[in-house]
Structure 1
Amino acid sequence: MAISPQELSLHKLPPQNIDAEQAIIGGILIENDAIDKIVGILDQNGEDFYRDAHRKIYKAMLSLSNQNEPIDLVTLSSTLRSGGVLESVGGSSYLAALVESTPTAANIIYYANLVREKSLLRRLINSSTEVVTRCYAGGEKIENLLDDAEKIIFEVAQDKTKRSVYHIKDLIKHTFEAIEELSTREGHLTGVTTGFNRLDDLTSGLQPSDLIVIAGRPSMGKTALALNIAQNSAEAGFPVAIFSLEMSKEQLAQRLLASRAKVDLHRIRSGKLKNEDWPKLTTALGILYESPIFIDDTAAQSILEIKAKARRLTKQHNIKLIIVDYLQLVKGRHDADNREQEISDISRSLKAMAKEFNVPVIALAQLSRMPERRE
């Protein structure tokens, strides 16, 4: 007699790797900085962990990291005890055992990928089981079932294959070749140049550890200004990281090309280019190809994810300017009382990031149109 998918799922344990989960927790306790290597791999609520105890422990670790607190047996036990879950996760003795059984944090990225893979398999099983149940129940249009099944597979595939950081040259390298060297930094500035002389004269450049907020109503040119600053800074030799939570990497690349070539963006998007536009675009592409601009267009990122990615980029590419577009799209803490408090927490975290990395951070902010309506 054939066994249904539902019956089969009852006889088998879901995909899991407990050893890898334990190695991750032990590795972070041994080396606190290891959490920054995996925060972009694992779910921020610990849902990728199979054991509920490990979810709670990992969330407590993230909380300590977000507050710039050390993560050790004392602080972690205290945080879990404050949350009333220390004993339910195995107590301090279990945490100590995890440290004892983990010799090094060197392989933590490998372990995180293993845990993530098992989590994705569980998601796929759960979602597919739901679709199978609906198929057996009947009564639904086949088109709706097929559409939902496709969405499920696509969402899981997106989580598995996502790539978040792109160098600008990766977006255009198949079309144009690199040309001349970038201009060197202007010696009289103490900070990062914006490319706007009057602004640079007033500020002596964007200063390390500063948080600069560019605020404006929708469609008033905030992103265009930030991209101009990014382009000018990069061409002066300052590597720039852009976290775009609104526009895609392709949209940003088009805007950078249009700005650098001084060609109307609408003509680029519509393909209605004039003969004189092509030499300008060719020159602009050559310059941008060599520009140290790094783009992350992951939507709905948390401040912790941005911080972890920015830390890796800073170590790898000596980033001198970070741009976040825009503030209200960054995910804040789930326990914030209201959206205003959430935005305030995000702003403080961005300022802390600027100080920690010793680089200026530009955050774009959307202003409401409500005052205009009241007028």
Structure 2
Amino acid sequence: MAQLEATTPPQNLDAEESVLGAMMVSEAAITPVILDVRLHDDDFYREPHRIIFRAAKKLYEDGEPVDALTVSEYLAQHGELAEAGGKEAVSHLASTVPAAGNAAHYGRIVKQNSLLRRLLQASHRTQKSVYEREGEPSELLERAQSDLFRIATQDLAKDFTKLGDVLSVEVHRLEELASGKREMTGTRSGFTDLDQKLGGFQPGNMVVVAARPSVGKSALVCNIAENVALKDGRPVAFFSLEMSETELAHRFIASRARIPGDRLRKGSVNKRDWPRVLKALNELDSLPLWLDDSSDLSMLELRAKCRRLATKEGQLGLVIVDYMQLMRPEDPRIGRVEQVGQISRGLKILAKELDTPVIGLSQLSRASEQRPDKRPILSDLRESGNIEQDADVVIFIYRDALYNDEADPAETELIIAKHRNGPTGKTPLVFLGQYPKFGNAPRPQDAVYERTGDGPPLVDLADEA
């Protein structure tokens, strides 16, 4: 380890000098270096080069000329000229640049060496933490993966943002929404009324979907996952701690083909249904939908898997965890409420880190069944506390037919009990338990139709694309 530390870190001083010289010779060279290459002062190996780069960038941002004279004057006014090497050093950079038009190429060389140094530093930190046994192996592994993920996405990481810059972006987005060029600010669920209330699932948000057993939690998020992957073409990470990959596959096929799920499980699909099954298989085969049925999954493992998938596939459209209470706690010695609180907080941190909506399914306590009105409320969240606090959106699924024999078994309510940035309320859905599948409830102006043998009428999401 001592030998590694004694080795000169990766760097290219000629490239550093050339990119700085180009910036002082040609103002046209500055824009691609800053905006395209995303070069920062800490990408330079030598401290004098960092100081000169900061000065040139500041002059450029202020709309001032950038050349050897103005950079030297700026450094002198700020007491940094001597530290940068003096006027002679600054003038030397401007007079020896090979070709100012190649500034972006020089910048990329500097950037690549900076990346190698960051990787080297991360490996040293990992070695140190292992040699000194600074934690459990799983914790050290997660820390190392987090380091690498941060390096890979460093240029995308956010710092303080001026309010005016945020408003400028938002005005443009609102104009697109108003003009019809853009439909949603977030990831669409595929359920019209829900999307209108939420504006889609927003990046960085943690969404909790909760219900009593056998109401349709898994079916709902399966439908949402299918919609995001099929209609928007965005990658979805689906963690199922309750059902196997085979069971999930059957659900997706049955939902897409509109074939009762028990027929698939029993292998009793008739000839008339096979074309629909094959069509569903072809549609589902190419979807960017990734399944993980690990039954003993910790938050560290989940975050590591999501990071790897995001690195491989790009920005994720959605992460789904079915369901939160089945995840393995990091510390089994603490109380159950605190364990679930750590899991809830971990999902919220993951959503912010990946800038992706994360849906966590949750159980409900029996409290709702003791009330005359069986509709769930926030206090019914099982081992709640932190779940309610961390969630940006809480959605309950309620089907009156489970408590009232005279109610329509297809009628379903999605109850938005919490919405940090918008309205709460109810949205109607239709539930087809034989698939199982949810659909938009028909509106008075919609043409209601029914395929023979397919159950109650609904507006098929496949036909609304």
TM-score by length of 1: 0.53
| Aligned residue pair count | 219
1:268-327 alpha-carbon deviations (Å, 9 max, x no partner): 111122322111111111000111000111111110000000000011012221000100
The answer on 1:351 being equivalent to 2:338 is no
Q: Using the alignment, how far apart are the partners of 1:274 and 1:213 within structure 2?
A: 38
Question: SS at the partner of 2:277?
Answer: helix
| Match of residue 434 from structure 2 | none
1:60 Cα deviation from its structure 2 partner: 8.0
| Match of residue 62 from structure 1 | 139
Question: Aligned in 2, Cα 1:288/1:62: closer, same or farther, shift over 3 Å?
Answer: same
| Match of residue 275 from structure 2 | 279
The answer on 1:189 being equivalent to 2:266 is no
| Match of residue 23 from structure 1 | none
Question: SS at the partner of 2:239?
Answer: strand
| Match of residue 253 from structure 1 | 249
Please tell me whether the aligned partners of residues 241 and 294 of structure 2 are also in contact (alpha carbons under 8 angstroms): yes
| Match of residue 30 from structure 1 | 121
Question: SS at the partner of 1:294?
Answer: strand
Give the one of 219, 222, 226 matched to 2:221: 226
| Match of residue 159 from structure 1 | none
Give the one of 304, 307, 312 matched to 1:308: 304
Question: Aligned in 2, Cα 1:357/1:33: closer, same or farther, shift over 3 Å?
Answer: farther
Q: Using the alignment, how far apart are the partners of 1:281 and 1:60 within structure 2?
A: 45
Question: SS at the partner of 2:136?
Answer: helix
Question: SS at the partner of 1:218?
Answer: coil
Q: Using the alignment, how far apart are the partners of 1:269 and 1:374 within structure 2?
A: 37
The 5 Å alignment of 1:1-375 reads 30-31=121-122, 56-59=133-136, 62=139, 187-235=182-230, 236-318=232-314, 319-334=316-331, 337-369=334-366, 372=369
Please tell me whether the aligned partners of residues 240 and 291 of structure 2 are also in contact (alpha carbons under 8 angstroms): yes
1:36-82 alpha-carbon deviations (Å, 9 max, x no partner): xxxxxxxxxx9xxxxxx86943428827967x9989xxxxxxxxxxx
Question: Aligned in 2, Cα 1:189/1:328: closer, same or farther, shift over 3 Å?
Answer: same
| Match of residue 435 from structure 2 | none
Please tell me whether the aligned partners of residues 319 and 358 of structure 2 are also in contact (alpha carbons under 8 angstroms): yes
Identity level (%) = 40
Question: Aligned in 2, Cα 1:194/1:61: closer, same or farther, shift over 3 Å?
Answer: closer
| Match of residue 50 from structure 1 | none
Q: Using the alignment, how far apart are the partners of 1:268 and 1:219 within structure 2?
A: 20
1:356 Cα deviation from its structure 2 partner: 0.4
TM-score by length of 2: 0.43
Larger radius of gyration: 2
Q: Using the alignment, how far apart are the partners of 2:250 and 2:146 within structure 1?
A: 41
1:22-47 alpha-carbon deviations (Å, 9 max, x no partner): xxxxx999317997xxxxxxxxxx9x
Pick the structure with more helix per residue.
Answer: 1
Question: SS at the partner of 1:243?
Answer: strand
Question: SS at the partner of 2:237?
Answer: strand
Gaps of 5+ in 1: 1-26, 36-45, 47-52, 72-185
Larger RCO (CA within 8 A; separation ≥ 6): 1
Gaps of 5+ in 2: 1-117, 149-180, 373-465
Measured on the aligned residues, the alpha-carbon RMSD in Å equals: 3.3
Q: Using the alignment, how far apart are the partners of 2:365 and 2:247 within structure 1?
A: 24
Question: Aligned in 2, Cα 1:241/1:225: closer, same or farther, shift over 3 Å?
Answer: same
Q: Using the alignment, how far apart are the partners of 1:247 and 1:315 within structure 2?
A: 26
Question: SS at the partner of 1:31?
Answer: helix
Letter of the structure 1 residue corresponding to residue 329 of structure 2: G
1:73-103 alpha-carbon deviations (Å, 9 max, x no partner): xxxxxxxxxxxxxxxxxxxxxxxxxxxxxxx
Q: Using the alignment, how far apart are the partners of 1:61 and 1:248 within structure 2?
A: 25
Question: Aligned in 2, Cα 1:34/1:222: closer, same or farther, shift over 3 Å?
Answer: farther
Question: Aligned in 2, Cα 1:374/1:264: closer, same or farther, shift over 3 Å?
Answer: same
1:187 Cα deviation from its structure 2 partner: 3.2
